[in-house]
A and B are shown apart, each in its own frame.
Chain A
Amino acid sequence: MTETTRRQMLTAATLGTAAVLGATPGIAAEAQPKPAKQNPRDKYPKPPFEPQRQPWPGLASQMKPRPDHGETSYIGSGRLRGRKALITGGDSGMGRAAAIAFAREGADVAINYLPAEEADAREVVDLIHRAGQKAVPLTGDLRSAPFCRQLVDRAVSALGGLDILVCNAARQQSIASILDVTDEEFDQTMKTNIYAPFWMIKAAVPHMEPGSVIIGTTSEQAYDPSPDLYAYAQTKAATMNYVKSLAKQLGAKGIRVNGVAPGPIWTPLQVSGGASQGKLVTFGATTPLGRPGQPVELAGIYVRLAEDDGSFTTGNIYGAGGGQGQP
């Protein structure tokens, strides 16, 4: 890790450890005192950010500053002990924050990612191992129905079952005019964001016992779309909607279905075409907190929706919007 955010250095200093990746408080760290109350405005990096551009899908490890997925800060307390989870897009961003948190809460975790994301995925596998849990890396592109079905089967057999499915992977490209959205681009967005969850949930439900959960990553874009995110925003509206219909349908089986709606979050999606250069430099500036969110700020939401204590929550969308008013 070449980039160390101020927050990470502070955390590392607080914990009395030098190496950032090396210091991973797991379940055993429960007894540590909670850090002092912090002003949410000052907790993480603020714009302006350095202009930067990576080819799709982008790597968290190459971002400046590096996103915080909870590597040094998330402390578990056994809330998901013995669970088996599959997370798409688990190599970076919110999927990675969920993977780290799930493992530190005692779950075994399979992650899916694209071959180009191998470097990020290797870090996540290492973090899951350090939490004392089983990690199952499953690489491949979700735009194919046979692959999605195979992905679920491989996760089920490697983990010995499936209790938590997080459909999180997404394609996002900022394109100012609909006249510039190619059929290929539109298709790639729809396949990744809408078809893949359909194929995966369909394959997963027969393996899920009562008490299992499905979590979809939606967005504030579902409710208040940006003009340049025409294709992406409508897939997030679809996600918000399938969460509600499937919750009604799967309630009978005792399977809960919920969504997580982030505001602007500092992830590789944004530096690999999801935001224009100009927007990236001021990313998060328009939120009332004056900064973008970090993936770790959503980790607790994924855990909450997955754990048994949240047993009456289904068909709901939980947000981390920075004050922009959604969901």
Chain B
Amino acid sequence: MSKDPALRTPARLLALALGVCVLSPAIAQETGSRQTRDFVQSLAQSDTFEILAAQSALAQSSDRDVRGFAQMMITDHTAMDRLLSDSAAKAGLAPPVKAIGADQALLLNGLGGLTGPEFDKTYLQQQALAHRSALAEAQTYAASGDNAVMRSVAKTAAQAISAHVAMVEPVLGKAAAR
């Protein structure tokens, strides 16, 4: 993501957050199996969503735990996205499209109008669900994917994502109790 300067501007981020730029997976080049292309695109969408949602959190939350988690999401998912792009190139696959999915757009839209504890609770609930969803995709591909390079990406991603799941659930518990 950080390689694409167009994505860094606030206006572009806002456009993405508003779901203006929701794309379905790349169809320009058909290299790799459908399973592999779907996995690459799903992981790219998940990284893009995590980074956008974390940007919202840094802009809209004043909770220390939430901001700390969001900062970590930006760092980890930016690194994961770079690994994904590099590995896709190495495996001879089309570069993943930096966009979010239709359901992720709905989630981001839902964050837009919230502030304070309401924002924190909703952001963390979304994070718990989105990470479980990404974990299911990564574990499925890690177990049965047909491309060795991407299987290794899936394993790395699954480890990072399970760490995020383990991290977000207690923070969510704390926020929900407030």
| A interface with B by C-beta (< 8 Å) | 47-48, 51, 175-180, 226-228, 276-282, 285-286
Interface presence of B24 (CB below 8 A): yes
Q: Which residue of A lies closest to B27 (CB)?
A: A177
CB pair A277–B129 under 8 Å, yes or no, is no
A48 contact from B24, B34, B101, B128, Cβ within 8 A: B128
Q: What is the CA–CA distance of A195 and B65 in the complex, to the nearest angstrom?
A: 56
CB pair B136–A280 under 8 Å, yes or no, is yes
CB pair B136–A281 under 8 Å, yes or no, is yes
CB pair A48–B41 under 8 Å, yes or no, is no
CB pair A47–B129 under 8 Å, yes or no, is yes
Please report the total number of B residues contacting A with Cβ < 8 Å. Answer: 29
Interface presence of B159 (CB below 8 A): no
CB proximity of B97 to chain A, nearest CB, Å: 11
Q: Which residue of A lies closest to B139 (CB)?
A: A51
Q: Which residue of B lies closest to A225 (CB)?
A: B102
B134 contact from A47, A178, A278, Cβ within 8 A: A278
CB pair B140–A277 under 8 Å, yes or no, is yes
B137 contact from A176, A227, A276, Cβ within 8 A: A276
Q: What is the CA–CA distance of A282 and B46 in the complex, to the nearest angstrom?
A: 13
Measured between beta carbons, the chain B residues less than 8 angstroms from A281 are 129, 132-133, 135-136
**Which of B27, B38, B126 is packed against the most chain A CB atoms within 10 Å?**
B38
Measured between beta carbons, the chain B residues less than 8 angstroms from A227 are 24, 101-102
Q: Which residue of A lies closest to B43 (CB)?
A: A278
Given contacts A176-B24, A177-B27, contact A48 B133 (CB under 8 A): yes
Measured between beta carbons, the chain A residues less than 8 angstroms from B101 are 227
CB pair B34–A180 under 8 Å, yes or no, is yes
Q: Which residue of B lies closest to A264 (CB)?
A: B103
Measured between beta carbons, the chain A residues less than 8 angstroms from B136 are 51, 277-278, 280-281
Given contacts A51-B136, A180-B34, A277-B137, contact A286 B24 (CB under 8 A): no
Given contacts A51-B139, A51-B140, contact A282 B132 (CB under 8 A): yes
CB pair B137–A286 under 8 Å, yes or no, is no
